[in-house]
Structure 1
């Protein structure tokens, strides 16, 4: 008790402030966790979508961009290919309905997913992507969505046909 009587008000406030500094994040969290947080805001998850008609050029640029992002110490979460889309184009003879020629174009798509990008580095990344963009390749950068995950996989038509046939027969049998 004598110890507490000898302490003046200034000493007590110093002790309380030092304790508050040690437990700044919460009661049992160390103070260095706040120092590990980024000082600049971070983008959560972004998809860099590359589209093009020429497969080798698109694949080569995707590889080059992937390596560039890793060298810039950007977290590349994943990169994947989307199945190609087939587009049929027809040209007609002048002033008629007769087809002059038909073309089958394939559009290839590659997605590079990056996470925790500092807001300071994103404009630099965008300029680097645009500067090295080959002819015939377009780029789009947007936040990750659930639809991107669904478009990633090719549906198995045989499996879907077997599932529908099983449902028509009354569903799967239940064994106990």
Structure 2
């Protein structure tokens, strides 16, 4: 017998942007309060434009709660948005407003992103999505993530500079030889 009170949670690891058959997959572990992650996301947005259907991107949560007190709740808010197919809208709003991530602000961003859940705040208070964020964090630790932003290109840890030029070169190097960008 199934539990009627159990909530099925759509996990962030299922959310990608870009073509399903893209030859290069870029994954970033990040924190919504991190200035470096916000800059890295701007670079990723440029790369997604530059590479079109050749690049697929996923964001994974790695809140550095020792230094960012709002990062975990912000990540939970992003997971709440996933439930309504509004992750990317919420994701960009969280980075745009990374200095204002209290619960009231999170509710405003959720509304702006198009999240309709009337229980948004109670779910944040009850940490309904807390374990989902923690699962990303633990998986990141297992893969060697120690700080943010951390990138993986086709499941390989990227250790170079987080700049448009350096990431573009690493993506080019990961491309099958016939699919290089113009």
* TM-score band w.r.t. shorter chain: under 0.3
TM-score, length of structure 2 as denominator length:
0.22
- The structure with more radius of gyration: 1
More strand by share: 1
More helix by share: 2
